[in-house]
Structure formats: structure tokens, C-alpha cells
Amino acid sequence: MTPSPVLLVVLQLCSLQLMAVAMPRCWLPGKVVQGAHNLLRDMGPRFPVQCLVYNANISFPDSALPSSPANRTQCRQVSWVVYESLREAGLLFEEYDLPVGEGGVNWDEQKFDNFLNLQDRLVEQDGRCLSRVNSSADLSSYFSNVTAVIQQPDSAACGWMALRRDLLWVLKSALQRHHNCFGWSHAH
Ligand SMILES: *[C@@H]1O[C@H](CO)[C@@H](O)[C@H](O)[C@H]1NC(C)=O
Ligand SMILES: *[C@@H]1O[C@H](CO)[C@@H](O)[C@H](O)[C@H]1NC(C)=O
Ligand SMILES: *[C@@H]1O[C@H](CO)[C@@H](O)[C@H](O)[C@H]1NC(C)=O
Ligand SMILES: *[C@@H]1O[C@H](CO)[C@@H](O)[C@H](O)[C@H]1NC(C)=O
């Protein structure tokens, strides 16, 4: 018995639907990103002037984020820049200790811990689908510069503060300018 054309069409529609379910759009949940931003913003003082000298070493490539509201294709890049910045920062937080005490990094421990939990969730769960995006943006030189600065005892504290300042900029710009690139469902 040959399958009827109607059945074939129905089967085809079903498989398209399955594909749509199997390949959901890769959204980062806006509320979680906003929560991470707020914790990062509230966990310490503003960027100190004595650290400005390291701007020559640490300068986030602003052009990684589109300067006007992103279209669908550009949203992938926006999501990736947020994901990759959080991922690379997470690796640094894991690998290096923050300098403490006088002249160190005195961030609110509870807020920092809560930030790290959201950061981990965004990278390990929500953002997993972004790990294979081929982005034209290059953050590797930025992060190797940050690493060089935090490896030197004299400049470590400034390196961490510059990293926090730049992460804040990334999260804030992405959320404000590219609001539509995030998922805002009530489920999150
Ligand atoms: C999105 O915007 C970029 C830059 O403006 C443009 O090159 C690209 O064709 C646009 N893509 C879509 C799907 O509109
Ligand atoms: C990403 O780029 C690599 C080489 O640069 C290529 O082999 C791979 O197919 C690309 N992946 C996607 C999803 O475009
Ligand atoms: C990295 O540091 C060098 C100087 O050491 C500087 O010229 C370059 O602009 C820095 N790049 C980034 C992305 O911060
Ligand atoms: C900052 O960059 C200068 C060159 O621009 C370099 O000589 C210096 O070692 C860098 N400092 C750190 C802490 O990486």
C-alpha cells in the first residue's frame, strides 16, 4: 500500500514541528541576567580613579555589541557576548583568589556568591546552546590582558575592578539596548 499524499503532508508537518521543538531559540532569561547585573552593581563601590591607569591594558572591545538595537541575526551575537563574558570571567574567579584586606577587593561576600550562582546557571544551563556559536567578536585578547593584570600582585585589585566594571557594562548595555534579545517569559 502506498501512503496517501495527504498522509505524507501531515507527516511532513509533524516533522517540521518536531524540528522546531528540538531546536528552540537560544534565549538567555532576561530576569536572571538582570539579577546578575544588579548583584554585580551592588556588591562594591564604583570603579576607583587610582585604577584608571590600567585602562591602557584593559579595554573591553565595545564594538562586540551592536550599537543599535539588534535584529534577529545580531541577537545571536549579543547573547554570545554576554555568555562568553560571563564564562571567561567565571574561569578567572575560579582560578585566581581575590586580594583581600587593605588595597584589596572588598566586595560584599553574600552578593558576590549570589552573583556567582547566577553566573554559573547562565553559563552551564541557559547558555549551553551558545557555546558553539561562531562569533565574529573576539574577546580573547581582552581576557588575556585582564589575566595579565590580575596575575601581578601590584595591579591585581585594579584588574578585578576593571573586570567588574566591564562585565557591568556588557550586561547593562545588552539588557537596555538589546532588550528583545532576551527571553522574558514568566517561567524564569
Ligand atoms: C541585521 O543587521 C545587519 C547589520 O545592520 C545586517 O547586515 C543584516 O543583514 C541584518 N539581518 C537581518 C536578518 O535583517
Ligand atoms: C565554526 O567555524 C569553524 C571553523 O572556523 C567551522 O569548522 C564550523 O563548521 C563552524 N560552525 C558553525 C556552526 O558555523
Ligand atoms: C591589551 O593590552 C595591550 C597593551 O599591553 C593594549 O595595547 C591592547 O589594547 C589591550 N587590548 C585589550 C582588548 O584590552
Ligand atoms: C600594561 O601594559 C603595558 C604596555 O602597554 C605593559 O608594559 C605592562 O606590563 C602591562 N601591565 C600589566 C600589569 O599587564
Nearest CA to ligand 4 atom 1: 57
CATH number of the domain enclosing 164 = 1.20.1250.10
CA distance 130 to 161: 27
Q: Is residue 130 part of a domain?
A: yes
Nearest CA to ligand 1 atom 14: 71
157 in contact with ligand 4, CB cutoff 6 A: no
Q: Is residue 42 part of a domain?
A: yes
CA distance 126 to 143: 22
Q: Is residue 155 part of a domain?
A: yes
148 in contact with ligand 4, CB cutoff 6 A: yes
Reduced to 3 states (helix: H, G, I; strand: E, B; else coil), residue 28 is strand
Q: Is residue 9 part of a domain?
A: no
The torsion region of residue 101 among left (phi > 0), alpha (psi -120 to 50) and beta comes to left
155 in contact with ligand 4, CB cutoff 6 A: yes
Nearest ligand 2 atom, CA 133:
13
Q: Is residue 7 part of a domain?
A: no
Which tops the pLDDT comparison, 11 or 91?
91
Q: Is residue 90 part of a domain?
A: yes
Q: Are 44 and 105 in contact (CB under 8 A)?
A: yes
Q: Is residue 163 part of a domain?
A: yes
Reported as a single tens digit per residue, the pLDDT across 81-112 is 999 999 999 999 999 999 988 889 999 999 99
What pTM was estimated for this model as a whole? 0.84
Nearest ligand 1 atom, CA 74:
1
Q: 33 vs 39, 113, 123, 136, 168, CA distance in Å?
A: 10, 15, 11, 22, 11
Structure confidence at residue 134 as a pLDDT band (50, 70, 90): confident
176 in contact with ligand 4, CB cutoff 6 A: no
Give the mean pLDDT of 20-26: 55
Give the closest ligand to the alpha carbon of residue 70: 1
Q: Are 137 and 70 in contact (CB under 8 A)?
A: no
Reported as a single tens digit per residue, the pLDDT across 135-179 is 878 899 999 999 999 999 999 999 999 999 999 999 999 999 999
Give the mean pLDDT of 43-68: 95
Q: Which residue in 56, 72, 76 sits closest to 64, CA to CA? A: 76
Q: Which residue in 32, 43, 81 sits closest to 160, CA to CA? A: 43
User: What domain range is 143 assigned to?
Assistant: 26-183
Q: Is residue 6 part of a domain?
A: no
Cβ-Cβ contacts under 8 Å for 33 (sequence gap 6 or more): 82, 122, 171, 174, 175, 182
Q: Which residue, chain included where needed, has cell 541557559? A: 126
74 in contact with ligand 1, CB cutoff 6 A: yes
Structural domains counted in the chain? 1
Nearest ligand 3 atom, CA 58:
14
